[in-house]
Amino acid sequence: MISVVIPAKDEQANIGLLVEEIHLALNNLTAFEVVVVDDGSSDDTFGELLRVGERLGCATRAIRHEQSTGQSTAIYTGVQHARGGLIVTMDADGQNDPADIPALLALVSTMKNPDYCITGFRKKRKDTAWVRFQSRVANKIRDALLHDGVPDTGCGLKLFPKATFLKLPYFDHMHRYIPALIRRMGGEIEVVVVNHRDRLEGVSKYTAWNRVWVGIVDICGVMWLNRRARLAQITKTDTTDANKASH
């Protein structure tokens, strides 16, 4: 089963259409569920999800945080409660296109490492010129320092095994560094060009200020983790059959 995990805050106007699109993209392809974590919304994001899920006959799970804890914590909550062995994350604002999910799923069988991340790359972004400039600078700095090989770590559309995610160190804003953290543990990373759309309703929760300063602190933290990573290369294993050893 695939669990599509969506962190959402004040996205009542967008979540219904997004779930409809997910249902259209996956209903005849694979078993799936939609897990939406309502991160302390002031609107009825929670209720809207349940209503659209019932109308579509789509497996949905709504989880509500009493207070807003941020996107990373919402994703972590969603993954913990997910029933699927594979996790697809995406943003609730509708800018990620559910029609791209099958392309990510098609690559799962090509992954040679049990720990991997297939991540989207918004090559043609619909954001303002200022936001695109910020993202280009941030991505170049991040890649130069972390060497994660990902051109667009801010893309919310990602696919990875649930077991892999639960091995990662948790910290606030860690969702932007999932590929780097999986690479740190010796995992495999694949990048797929995906569609990017205009936000239909609401406003972004991010600003230039919180993108820059929080990003600097986070990159330093991930660099600290990377320097302390130790990957054991196993050259030989052996076992003793207890039944045979007793005779």
Superfamily per CATH, domain 2-237: Spore Coat Polysaccharide Biosynthesis Protein SpsA; Chain A (3.90.550.10)
- Domains of the chain, residue spans: 2-237
pLDDT by residue for the chain (247 residues), tens only, comes to 999 999 999 999 999 999 999 999 999 999 999 999 999 999 999 999 999 999 999 999 999 999 999 999 999 999 999 999 999 999 999 999 999 999 999 999 999 999 999 999 977 765 566 566 666 666 666 566 666 667 777 789 999 999 999 999 887 888 888 888 898 888 999 999 999 887 666 555 555 445 554 566 566 655 555 565 555 555 666 666 656 555 5
The sheet with strand 188-193 has its strands ordered as 60-65, 32-39, 2-8, 86-89, 158-161, 116-121, 188-193
pTM, two decimals, is: 0.78
